[in-house]
């Protein structure tokens, strides 16, 4: 059996085992080991090659940014900054039709600028925004759909955990990835807001809400400008320190993660939101998230090494170069696979499986890998909103305090936002400068 045939069988085996329910990192590591063993004909060589791949994958200094940004995001959540951001956004949009929905998107966009984790945004705003929208007469399906849709901004607006993972995997600059995501993140936030206003205008029965003035003055006292500034000051300082530090050349991304985590810790302590029990829970959760990502990255590194030895990646690149697919044909197949795998896999796993396979196919076209990364992140984030996996939907369901809202309601409510994201992917493919202009 040739190495190309072994590589092809390994890819099919990975897909079959994943769909059968086996844990993704275990599948990648197991198939990689068997594949290298079959190619080299020696188990000892396979063990040594894959051990080297594993150590190399997490030895990079830049990889330290992952636990630091995870820690910062969890500390921000513990300090209730999401709640305060929503309160201010609610105040600003209180007189706009469907204002609570727009406030949820705006608050999620701001919250995303320091968390980098969509799941954290989904959990926070399910507790904060959904009860408020239900209290003012919004339809449950619309309320959970807005939270689910806007929560994905956490993985696009920098700092983003997915952007970091992609940068590490493809050896791109984390700073460039962050910079390229700014305009798409803002554009997607604005598209969500416009969609909410259009739904309120043309489908008021679907949206609900008491009136164009969603929040009666006698129910919620007005906040002064000073109060709003005070509530937004902590999150604004963190954004300025982390994002401004990276773009201004003061910090490397890893140093910015450390500074942000320290700043979030100081704010949480100053706000008296962090006791020893909460801090311990944050540290444990940081360790769990980091360990799972490390396991995935190590297994994906083994998988990439096996693909390289098999030669299948090079063969695919040569095939695409000589065929008439063209760049847009390759990207169409890629986005389709992102959507299909998004029904059963988490976003990180999809990136680590598909990106090493498609990078050689892009080489003949000279495609910019930063631009490709933005397409990738938005594409895999659609999977957070699509059944049957739809992790964001399950997080929202588990966080809700009511049985009146079903998983079907969450998926149905999120569908318009998933469609908008797909249109954004198509727009960025057609106009690369949306992502590349700031570089």
User: Mind listing the pLDDT tens digit for each residue in 333-361?
Assistant: 899 888 887 876 778 878 888 888 888 88
* Predicted pLDDT of residue 193: 94
Rounded Cα distance between 376 and 341, Å, is 12
Angle between helical axes of 225-247 and 99-115 (0-180°, round to 10): 40
- Residue identified by tokens 């696979």 is 337
The DSSP output letter for 213 is S
Longest CA–CA span in the chain (Å) reads 77
Cβ atoms of residues 117 and 70 within 8 Å? yes
Higher pLDDT, 413 or 126: 413
Half-sphere exposure of 193 (CA within 13 A, CB side): 20
User: How do residues 80-131 score in pLDDT, each as one tens digit?
Assistant: 787 788 888 878 887 788 888 898 998 888 887 777 677 777 877 888 888 8
**Mean pLDDT score of the chain:** 83
Query: Distance between CA atoms of 10 and 27, rounded to whole angstroms?
Result: 10
Residue ranges making up the domain that contains 352: 3-436
What is the domain count for the chain?
Answer: 1
Q: What is the average pLDDT across 224-245?
A: 84
Strand, helix or coil for residue 208: strand
Name the band, by pLDDT with cuts 50, 70 and 90, for residue 219.
low
Q: Which residue has the tokens 């994906």?
A: 300
Helices (H) and strands (E) in the chain, counts: 21, 0
Q: Are 340 and 394 in contact (CB under 8 A)?
A: no
Q: Residue 211: what pLDDT?
A: 46
Q: What is the pLDDT of residue 217?
A: 45
What are the beta bridge partners of residue 208?
138
**Which residue in 220, 218, 205 sits closest to 138, CA to CA?**
205
Q: Any bridge partners for residue 138, and if so which?
A: 208
Under 8 Å between Cβ of 385 and 146: no
Mean pLDDT, residues 198-204 taken together: 90
Query: Is the confidence at residue 258, as pLDDT, over 50?
Result: yes
CB 155 within 8 A of CB 421: no
Question: Burial letters for 301-340: b for 16+ Cβ neighbours within 10 Å, e otherwise?
Answer: bbbbbbbebbbbbeebbeebeeeebeeeebbeebbebbbe
Nearest to 410 by CA among 389, 430, 439: 389
Angstrom distances, CA of residue 11 to CA of 23, 40, 218, 349, 353: 15, 18, 61, 14, 9
- In terms of Cα–Cα distance, which of 362, 381, 371 is closest to 438? 371
Question: Do 104 and 89 meet the contact criterion of CB atoms below 8 Å apart?
Answer: yes
Helix 161-170 to helix 276-310 angle, to the nearest 10 degrees? 30
pLDDT over 90 (residue 419): yes
What confidence tier does 213 reach under pLDDT thresholds 50, 70, 90? very low
Q: How far apart are CA 154 and CA 160, in angstroms?
A: 7
């Amino acid at each position: 059996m040739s190495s190309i045939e072994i590589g092809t069988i390994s890819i099919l085996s990975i897909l079959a085992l994943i769909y059968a329910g086996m844990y993704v990192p275990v599948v990648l590591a197991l198939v990689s080991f068997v594949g290298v063993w079959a190619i080299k004909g020696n188990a000892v060589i396979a063990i040594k090659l894959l051990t080297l791949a594993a150590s190399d994958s997490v030895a990079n200094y830049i990889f330290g940014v992952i636990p630091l940004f995870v820690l910062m995001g969890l500390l921000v959540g513990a300090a209730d900054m999401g709640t305060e951001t929503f309160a201010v956004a609610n105040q600003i949009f209180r007189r706009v039709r469907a204002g609570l929905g727009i406030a949820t998107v705006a608050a999620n966009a701001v919250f995303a600028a320091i968390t980098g984790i969509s799941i954290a945004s989904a959990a926070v705003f399910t507790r904060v925004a959904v009860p408020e929208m239900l209290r003012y007469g919004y339809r449950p399906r619309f309320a959970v759909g807005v939270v689910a849709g806007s929560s994905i901004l956490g993985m696009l607006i920098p700092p983003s955990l997915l952007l970091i993972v992609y940068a590490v995997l493809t050896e791109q600059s984390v700073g460039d990835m962050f910079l390229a995501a700014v305009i798409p993140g803002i554009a997607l936030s604005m598209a969500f807001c416009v969609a909410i206003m259009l739904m309120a205008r043309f489908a008021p029965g679907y949206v609900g809400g008491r009136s164009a003035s969603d929040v009666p003055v006698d129910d919620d006292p007005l906040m002064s400008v000073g109060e709003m500034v005070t509530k937004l000051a902590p999150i604004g300082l963190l954004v300025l320190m982390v994002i401004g530090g990276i773009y201004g050349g003061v910090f490397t991304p890893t140093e910015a993660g450390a500074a942000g985590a320290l700043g979030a810790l100081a704010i949480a302590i100053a706000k008296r939101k962090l006791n020893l029990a909460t801090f311990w829970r944050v540290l444990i959760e940081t360790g769990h998230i980091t360990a799972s990502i490390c396991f995935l990255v190590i297994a994906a590194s083994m998988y990439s090494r096996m693909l390289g030895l098999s030669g299948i990646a090079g063969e695919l690149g040569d095939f695409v170069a000589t065929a008439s697919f063209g760049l847009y044909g390759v990207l169409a197949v890629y986005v389709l696979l992102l959507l299909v795998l998004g029904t059963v896999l988490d976003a990180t796993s999809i990136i680590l499986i598909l990106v090493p396979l498609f990078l050689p196919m892009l080489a003949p076209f000279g495609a910019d890998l930063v631009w490709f990364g933005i397409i990738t992140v938005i594409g895999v984030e659609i999977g957070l909103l699509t059944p049957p996996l739809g992790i964001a939907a399950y997080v929202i369901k588990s966080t809700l305090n009511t049985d009146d809202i079903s998983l079907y309601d969450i998926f149905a409510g999120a569908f318009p936002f998933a469609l908008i994201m797909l249109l954004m992917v198509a727009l960025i493919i057609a106009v690369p400068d949306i992502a590349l202009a700031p570089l």
